[in-house]
Amino acid sequence: MKYTNSFREIADIFIDEIRLIFTDSGTVLIFLIAMFIYPLIYSLGYEKETVRELPVAVVDLDHSQMSRQYSRMVDATEQMQVSFKPGSLKEAEAMFYDGTVKGVVLIPANFEKDVLHARQANVTVYCDASYFMLYKQVYAGTTFANGTFAAGVEIKRLLASGKTIDQAKDLQDPLKVNTYSINNPSGGYGSFVMPGMILVIMQQTLLLGIGMIGGTSREKKKFLKRTHPVIRKWGNVKLVLGKSLAYTSIYLLTAFFAVGILPRMFSFPANGNFWVIALMLIPYLLSVSFLGLSISLLFKQRVHSMLFLVFLSPMVVFLSGISWPTTSIPPLLHALSNVFPSTVLIPAYLRVEVGGAGFNSITTEWSYLLIQMCVYFVLACISYKYALKRFGAKIGLNYTISTK
């Protein structure tokens, strides 16, 4: 009977919290709509995956058959499109700084003569290194065109010396390297960034929503006010469990869209087992919920939670290892980043969802996540016990905690 009453009180808190969420337009926006809109907008933005057909200008100062062949090779690459052929480097420079072209390829005078006399022929490439994706594509495209052109010249020279076509190919490229891009064959940026970004979005929106609820309760002087009977024993534990279960249940539903449907809509990697992913998401969402409940008591007004968590979000993204490898982050910052559940889960989630790994490969991260969940649960219970004692008498609530 005692346990039945406890479960009933937790269920009452759960229902009250669900009702509170759906009667607050701000929390509905954060908990539900944002979890659909944010991943969808990011996915639409990265839908093309890779940058192709960048407009470039080729300045041909040689005007020879070979220079025109080289220009056609540059245009044939998937990375670039020769959109302009200005007569001088100064004219191409003006196009570059105007943004008309994203790179400039300069073919010098005597290009064909140097090649025919077996002298080093130099091609100069100007690309914007301040925008690494554009720089990478222009540089990679010209490198590919250079390699193809040089291979053709070398094979023709070997054929002229009496070698067969097979011998010429083997001598020109004695060591062949076959490269296979595992898990992300297209090298797409969306396939790289979106799986981890979805977890960060889930964490930050959940923290923001919990903070808004806590700040609103304090602001309107309705902190922890409920309509169910008085919770006497272990009231703080029941409050934490009821509230966190409400948040987790909502986010498990929205996660079905963000993790299950969205990647398949945009052809992002989705190789993970459903049950393994669910086994990761449940402790993850509970950890975030417990962390959110702990820090929500710090906010006296609704807007404070928004300002704090919006300020925190860029740091969370950086420390998560999505935009910069964790091995290159200073050890102190990397240690601090483990405060956030997303930092713990992202590497394991990527191995499962992108690489198709099984549960055995993520036991370390999963165990750490369980420890983190327990630590934040205890922290949330202590925070609520303190809050009940401090604010209960102050604002006339009917909550008391007793050890009897």
Instruction: State the pLDDT at residue 227.
Output: 35
**Higher pLDDT, residue 210 or 395:** 210
The pLDDT tens digits for 187-230 are: 788 888 888 889 999 999 999 889 888 887 777 666 555 433 44
pLDDT surpasses 90 at 393: no
Least confident piece of the model among 7-11, 135-139, 166-170, 191-195: 166-170
Residue pair 179/308 in contact (Cβ under 8 Å)? The answer is no
Closest CA to 307 of 215, 220, 179, 217: 215
pTM of the shown model = 0.80
pLDDT surpasses 70 at 324: yes
pLDDT surpasses 70 at 399: no
- Average pLDDT, whole number, for the chain? 83
- Beta-bridge partner residues of 58: 105
Structure tokens at 94: 């003006």
Backbone angles phi, psi at 125, to 5 degrees: -120, 130
Instruction: State the pLDDT at residue 10.
Output: 83
pLDDT surpasses 50 at 401: no
Instruction: State the pLDDT at residue 223.
Output: 59
For the CA atoms of 35, 190, 81, 102, what is the dihedral angle to 10 degrees?
80
Residue 349's pLDDT band (boundaries 50, 70, 90)?
very high
Least confident piece of the model among 127-131, 220-224, 360-364: 220-224
CB burial of 120-130 (b: ≥16 within 10 Å; e: otherwise) equals ebebebbbeee
The average pLDDT across 69-92 equals 90
The average pLDDT across 91-116 equals 89
Q: Distances from the Cα of 128 to the Cαs of 103, 184, 374, in angstroms?
A: 7, 26, 49
Among residues of the chain, what percentage have pLDDT more than 70? 89
Instruction: State the pLDDT at residue 271.
Output: 86
Determine the straight-line distance between the first and last CA of the chain, rounded to whole angstroms: 16
pLDDT surpasses 50 at 28: yes
Instruction: State the pLDDT at residue 384.
Output: 83
pLDDT surpasses 90 at 374: yes
Instruction: State the pLDDT at residue 36.
Output: 87
Instruction: State the pLDDT at residue 367.
Output: 93
Opening angle at CA 143, ends 130 and 172, nearest 5: 160
Instruction: State the pLDDT at residue 396.
Output: 41
The average pLDDT across 168-193 equals 75
